Amino acid sequence: MNDLTARDVEYGHDGTRMLGALRAPAGVRGAPGVLLLHDAFGLSDDMLAIAERLAGVGFAVLAADVWGERARPRTQDEIGALIGAMVADRPRWAARVAAAHAAAAEQPEIDDDAIVALGYCFGGSSALEHLRTGGAVRGVVSVHPGLDLLDADAGWGACDPTARVLLCTGDQDPMATAAQRDSLQRAMTGAGLDWETDLYSGTRHAFTSPHARFSPTPEAVAYHPRNAERAWDATTRFLRELARDLSPAVVG
């Protein structure tokens, strides 16, 4: 942490206080930016570790607080209520992510014209929704998203067709079935997006998440260390490609 800038970033939406976290290489200004969107467990230590890992290879990261007040739900009842509330009010969901994007763009460490949204699980769904609804990101990395949370009938006409998308998912993820993947890919193709899907065999939902090591339902949710590393390698490769195209900052 000695060679990183680390601070909390407070912002808000509709009366709710959000407490995000910035992680960036020390002294950097205008670096390629990552808007990190957390999984169902909120802005946890695991998400902060991802932000620090990204900062360690040259990216300036704003880890969002979508739930607000740095909430870290633990039980399925808590998680279900929070996700359900977002899906039931999609404009509110989109506005929460847009508020985080705006906060990221205000940070001097981040090049506001070179921001990529990176999300895990619920955050992966959020990143796709942000792009679909007109979020001005240059790309999206969506790692084991809940594609079942997306509105299959919603249009992609508001998205920036120059954005690029990387989807990393498991072939046995019940929350991202083959039919749901096909539907998303058709929608992205129709919107003119440059997209790729990394599909991992024998892999279920939340396969990068340390929480999934202790899953009570391993047939649906299970940690997969090898494919977690493969997804990380794909993510950093994708981010570096975009950074080379979009920003003069050097990324290690």
Domain ranges of the chain: 4-246
Evaluate if residue 98 carries a pLDDT over 70.
yes
pLDDT number for residue 251: 52
Mean pLDDT score of the chain, rounded to an integer? 95
Interval 176-202 mean pLDDT: 98
**Third-level CATH fold of 4-246:** Rossmann fold (3.40.50)
Burial label for 35, CB within 10 Å (0-12, 13-18, 19+), is: buried
- What's the pLDDT score for residue 2? 62
Mean pLDDT for 148-176 is 96
Is the pLDDT confidence value at 41 over 60?
Answer: yes
Q: Which residue has the tokens 């290879």?
A: 57
Buried-state track 91-100, b at ≥16 Cβ within 10 A, e below 16: eebbebbbbb
**What percent of the chain has pLDDT above 90?**
93
pTM greater than 0.85 (yes/no): yes
Q: Round to whole Å and give the CA distance between 44 and 124.
A: 16
**Mean pLDDT over residues 93-100, rounded?**
98
The predicted structure's pLDDT at residue 231: 98
Interval 197-237: pLDDT, tens: 999 999 999 999 988 998 999 999 999 999 999 999 999 99
C-alpha–C-alpha distance, residues 55 and 53, integer Å: 5
How do strand 139-143 and strand 110-120 relate by DSSP bridges? parallel
Phi-psi region of 109 (alpha: psi -120 to 50; beta: other; left: phi over 0): alpha
| Averaged pLDDT for residues 145-169 | 96
